[in-house]
Structure 1
Amino acid sequence: MTEKVVVIYSGGMDSFTVLNRAQKDGKQVFALSFNYGQRHVKELQCASTVCNGLGINHKVIDISAINQLFAGSSLTDDIDIPEGHYEADSMKSTLVPNRNMILLSLAVAYAVSVGAEQVYYGAHSGDHAIYPDCRPEFVEKMNDVCKIANYESVEIFSPYLTVNKTAILADGIAMGLDYSNTWTCYNGRDKACGKCGACQERLEAFFENNITDPIPYE
């Protein structure tokens, strides 16, 4: 029997690679996306397009009602998205309080309900400097909790936890993936801004892999 896994799929390039990695590894994928009131909701449109094309079971869950608890993040509040490199102190404004713990908890509940043994998510080393909920120690502790939180043990799996976005993209290129249906920019406009930390890190990854990013930029 094919092993079932739940993939937290934002619609960005990292989770897109994770999604395809899980499928190419022979897993039966259940993709789970969340609308938590993020201004870059366009990523969810990309997620739906990709899952429809791959024939993957996909749920988009609206949890935007809890946005009123996420004060102070430029991703959910009326605060300007900072520009500049991802490691700059200003990028801390993009931290959504406790986001990954909440999303992982919901994904684990879904995994239990469909009989999946793992939850995949796309934390990577490029996030470690800014986001505490993408660091190895967080993943390790969440994994410990999720193994005992239910009668069924669920593993938290981050296949790219110790590598950066450049390496993630390299793996995607090796898999022959098309990144035109992914969205990384923190702004929710028609085209990517090219200036926010997320865009800059994405553009660096494409540059370092000697290929052109297929999405349009302002």
Structure 2
Amino acid sequence: MSNHNQGGRKAVIILSGGLDSTTCMGIAQAKGYKLYPITFDYGQRHRIELDNARAVAEHYGAQGRHKVIQLGFLKEFGGSALTDDSIAVPDTTKAAEHTAQPESDIPVTYVPGRNLLFLSIATSYAEAIGAEAIFIGVNALDYSGYPDCRPEFIRKVEEVMAVATRVGVEGGPIRIETPLTEWTKAEIIRQGNMLQVPYHLTTSCYNGQAEACGVCDSCRLRLKGFAEAGSADPIAYRARH
């Protein structure tokens, strides 16, 4: 287990249990923040990531501050391959599935309103505990086409937070920290390795099995990142492409 900062500065980390959010944990710790991870159970197909998030929180000594928030209504709404079992997760070995939404560059794994909800709830948590920042692992390069991972989205949410919270109107708005936004996946992994981020405790697979599938878009991006970083991915895969 790592050494943990117990200082007064607090940060909320939106922790999925994946590679990017876990890297954000490592970065926030390195910046001297006391970590307050928050994880969302929205009925996602890959619910195994909740176990990964708990393991990551424990690794960083933050298990007692780790909040797991139930958002099951997102599964009831559907509209995404991650919440609706009737929509297939795109598979790089099945090219036809990539044309499921030919009119849109936004993939079927986009969950409507997910990051907007996550950041709203994280803002409430941050204000309640006196945290000065929220870390989220969005990325503008390897963001897979999700509109709620773009820098312009983050800027707009920050503007709303500044006028929607007491700390904001009193002149001390909560910041959204997006340290990964301009990094490639390889650069994220290199930085994480320098910070000894526990990638062996993470998962990125959308299919949610004990072994990552190795063929979904998320697995493909992860494997490509590790290869380009010159590093071995420490998790198990059923297949590697």
TM-score for both structures, normalised by structure 1: 0.93
Q: 2:215 aligns with which of 174, 180, 195?
A: 195
Aligned to 2:67: 59
Provide the C-alpha distance between the structure 2 equivalents of 1:2 and 1:201, rounded to a whole number of angstroms.
Answer: 36
Aligned to 1:42: 48
Local SS of the residue matching 1:166: helix
**For each residue in 1:50-93, what CA deviation from the matched residue of structure 2 results, as whole angstroms up to 9, or x when unmatched?**
21122112111111134212x220000012111129xx665710
Q: 2:108 aligns with which of 93, 96, 106?
A: 93
Q: Does structure 1 residue 121 correspond to structure 2 residue 132?
A: no
Aligned to 1:208: 228
Greater gyration radius: 2
Provide the C-alpha distance between the structure 1 equivalents of 2:144 and 2:221, rounded to a whole number of angstroms.
Answer: 13
Aligned counterparts, 1:98-117, within 5 A: 98-117=113-132
| Alignment check: 8 A CA contact 1:127 1:134 kept | no
| Alignment check: 8 A CA contact 2:211 2:237 kept | yes
**Structure 1 ranges of 4+ moved more than 4 A:** 88-91
| Alignment check: 8 A CA contact 1:127 1:135 kept | no
Provide the C-alpha distance between the structure 2 equivalents of 1:97 and 1:177, rounded to a whole number of angstroms.
Answer: 30
Q: Does structure 1 residue 74 correspond to structure 2 residue 81?
A: yes
Provide the C-alpha distance between the structure 1 equivalents of 2:190 and 2:99, rounded to a whole number of angstroms.
Answer: 28
Aligned to 1:217: 237
Q: CA deviation at 1:154?
A: 1.5
Report the residue type matching 2:210 in the other structure. D
Structure 1: 5+ residue stretches without partners: none
Computed over aligned residues only, the root mean square deviation of the Cα atoms, in angstroms, reads 1.6
The structure-2 alpha-carbon separation of the partners of 1:129 and 1:67, relative to structure 1 and needing over 3 Å to count, comes to closer
Provide the C-alpha distance between the structure 2 equivalents of 1:11 and 1:129, rounded to a whole number of angstroms.
Answer: 18
Q: CA deviation at 1:128?
A: 4.0
The count of aligned residue pairs is 215
Q: CA deviation at 1:127?
A: 4.1
Local SS of the residue matching 2:89: coil
Q: Does structure 1 residue 4 correspond to structure 2 residue 10?
A: yes
The structure-2 alpha-carbon separation of the partners of 1:76 and 1:132, relative to structure 1 and needing over 3 Å to count, comes to same
Structure 2: 5+ residue stretches without partners: 1-6, 101-105, 168-172
**For each residue in 1:104-151, what CA deviation from the matched residue of structure 2 results, as whole angstroms up to 9, or x when unmatched?**
000000001101111110001234451010001101111111112111
Local SS of the residue matching 2:38: strand
**Paired-residue identity, %:** 40
Q: Does structure 1 residue 132 correspond to structure 2 residue 129?
A: no
Report the residue type matching 1:140 in the other structure. R
Provide the C-alpha distance between the structure 2 equivalents of 1:148 and 1:163, rounded to a whole number of angstroms.
Answer: 30
Provide the C-alpha distance between the structure 1 equivalents of 2:137 and 2:25, rounded to a whole number of angstroms.
Answer: 9
| Alignment check: 8 A CA contact 2:92 2:217 kept | yes
Q: CA deviation at 1:167?
A: 1.1
Aligned counterparts, 1:130-169, within 5 A: 130-152=145-167, 153-169=173-189
| Alignment check: 8 A CA contact 1:146 1:156 kept | no
| Alignment check: 8 A CA contact 1:84 1:197 kept | yes
